[in-house]
Amino acid sequence: MKSSMLLWRLLPYVSKAAAKAQMEFDYDGPSMKTAVPGPRSQELTKQLGDIQNVGAVNFFCNYEESRGNYLVDVDGNRMLDIYTQISSIPIGYNHPALLKLMTNPNNLSTFVNRPALGILPPENFPDKIAESLLSVAPSGMTRVQTMACGSCSNENAYKAMFIWYRNKERGYKTPSDEDHSTCMINQAPGCPDLSILSFMGAFHGRTMGCLATTHSKVIHKLDVPSFDWPIAPFPKLQYPLEEFTRENALEEARCLEEVEDLIVKWRQKGKPVAGIVIEPIQAEGGDNHASPDFFRRLRDIARKHGCAFHVDEVQTGGGGTGKFWAHEHWGMDDPADIVSFSKKLLTGGYYHKDELQPYRIFNTWMGDPSKNLFLSEVLNVIRRENLLEEVTRSGKALLNGLYELQAQYPGILSRARGQGTFCAIDICDGATRDTILVKARDKGVLLGGCGDRSIRFRPALVFKEYHVHLLLNIFNDVLANHK
Ligand SMILES: Cc1ncc(COP(=O)(O)O)c(C=O)c1O
């Protein structure tokens, strides 16, 4: 390790102030008026509770008053939002560029008339898709299918992989009469016994197929029937990564070996692996990283065994890691056969190779053209304001600050890690993590948990160094007062 790195990791965190961000639509800082949830939030929770389950509701929001990096609640509390609606707000609240779109009369029909895109797309649809999603297509991909949300993107991507795999097996011949009759009664060969290999700790959504590949928390899976599909270990790395390269390489090699064993085992069981699905950074499962080399070798294993390689960028996509796609950090020309997205992209969907052409993938909406309008504008803002560079800069300040805090509070904090502003840190145990999240919120910083005892940082792309220091000062306060 470089001595300068060692030095800043050992120095205590001292309050820093960065130049105030030049953002006309941001507030100056948090402002707290009541405990959260405040009285109005509690009243509304009770009212909604008579209609639906409110077990997960934190508080009610005032989206009109929210701006930039700040979420305002119905009791007038203004919080620096580093959770951003589960990592799905790309350029902050009420960005003027997005509000302007709503005032353009030419866009009105797109907002008012939601089409069944698969059968009746609007005239400007090809242009708008080219302007938005195709302009950020992953390397080697020229085709994209929009969908509504992350789970439905993954669910349909899995179907596309199965259909592709069966077509290969059939030698691209028309399905037989037996295929037709058996599929209607859920039997093989029409409904073939194929599988998707996923990783322990993964989160790919909660619909039935996705859930079979989700292994982050018991609560998501309990009581729901699932498939007998192979689950490989995801590398458990030591951080900072650059200090444990040898140990981590051994751990990654162990996991890759297991992947190959599982592929062989499931083929022998008569349930061949049609596809491998993986997140570039396991997010819900605790912000678990792996090296570019791990992903390159996994891609090779998929190729060698004839499995499609699906990279789930639902949480990592859209710039939070400092590159538009997290898989760009792997430096590959041909990173995947499928890349799914949602959240910061505002629309769900997936890019795919030509041969995974998803005919027979269909539903009513298949996305929403109004989201493509917003996405085009988000991409303009990202380019115009060099937001990926900003994320890299803010991310460095954030991770360095977390290293400093970790050195200062070794009994509470460990395993600071991150790429861009997509950062996380572990807390000594789950209960302390939950207390710290509440205390930070009381001081006006909204953070989220992930895994058993991690805190994840998921700011918008307009989160500047100035906001990093605001956050670190408040986080430091919470830690200093933690008993
Ligand atoms: C990596 C990943 N995949 C899929 C999903 C599911 O997306 P959605 O909640 O939009 O269904 C999520 C949601 O957090 C995710 O993080």
Residue 4, pLDDT above cutoff 50 = no
Q: How confident is the model at residue 57 (pLDDT cuts 50, 70, 90)?
A: very high
Does 205 sit in the ligand 1 pocket, CB within 6 Å? yes
- Beta carbons of 13 and 476 less than 8 angstroms apart: yes
Counting from 1 in the atom list of ligand 1, the atom nearest the Cα of 86 is 14
Distance of CA 7 to the CA centre of its chain: 33
Nearest residue by C-alpha to atom 9 in ligand 1: 150
Does 283 sit in the ligand 1 pocket, CB within 6 Å? yes
Question: What type of residue sits at position 25?
Answer: F
Q: Tell me the per-residue pLDDT of 319-373, one tens digit each, with 9 for 90 and over.
A: 999 999 999 999 999 999 999 999 999 999 999 999 998 678 999 999 999 999 9
Greater confidence, 357 or 454? 454
Ligand 1 centroid – CA 81 distance (Å):
19
Separation of alpha carbons 115 and 214, rounded Å = 31
Nearest residue by C-alpha to atom 4 in ligand 1: 204
Q: How confident is the model at residue 20 (pLDDT cuts 50, 70, 90)?
A: low
Nearest Cα residue to 240 out of 107, 400, 80, 394: 400
Nearest residue by C-alpha to atom 7 in ligand 1: 150
Q: Tell me the per-residue pLDDT of 225-261, one tens digit each, with 9 for 90 and over.
A: 999 999 999 999 999 999 999 999 999 999 999 999 9
- Beta carbons of 256 and 249 less than 8 angstroms apart: no
Counting from 1 in the atom list of ligand 1, the atom nearest the Cα of 313 is 1
Ligand 1 centroid – CA 88 distance (Å):
10
User: pTM to 2 decimals?
Assistant: 0.96
DSSP type of residue 368: -
- Beta carbons of 412 and 450 less than 8 angstroms apart: no
Ligand 1 centroid – CA 301 distance (Å):
25
Separation of alpha carbons 281 and 327, rounded Å = 9
Nearest Cα residue to 298 out of 312, 288, 310, 285: 310
Ligand 1 centroid – CA 151 distance (Å):
6
Ligand 1 centroid – CA 342 distance (Å):
8
Of all residues in the chain, the percent with pLDDT exceeding 90 is 94
- Retrieve residue 95's tokens: 């960005």
Ligand 1 centroid – CA 456 distance (Å):
15
Strand partners, 450: 454
Q: Tell me the per-residue pLDDT of 193-206, one tens digit each, with 9 for 90 and over.
A: 999 999 999 999 99
Exposure string for 430-468, b = 16+ CB within 10 A, e = fewer: eeebeebbebbbbbbbbbbbbbebbbbbbbbbbbbbbbb
Residues belonging to the active site: 203, 312, 343, 364
Start-end of H helices in 307-457: 369-384, 387-408, 430-442
- Beta carbons of 216 and 279 less than 8 angstroms apart: no
Q: Tell me the per-residue pLDDT of 35-53, one tens digit each, with 9 for 90 and over.
A: 999 999 999 999 999 999 9
Does 280 sit in the ligand 1 pocket, CB within 6 Å? no
Counting from 1 in the atom list of ligand 1, the atom nearest the Cα of 284 is 16
Does 312 sit in the ligand 1 pocket, CB within 6 Å? yes
Task: Please write down the HEC assignment for all residues of 215-239.
Answer: CCCHHHHCCCCCCCCCEECCCCCCC
**What pLDDT score does 13 carry?**
65
Pocket test for ligand 1, best of 342, 346, 371, 450 (most atoms within 8 A of CB): 342
Counting from 1 in the atom list of ligand 1, the atom nearest the Cα of 316 is 1
Q: How confident is the model at residue 120 (pLDDT cuts 50, 70, 90)?
A: very high
**What pLDDT score does 8 carry?**
43
In the block, tokens 């109004």 appear at: 370
Does 216 sit in the ligand 1 pocket, CB within 6 Å? no
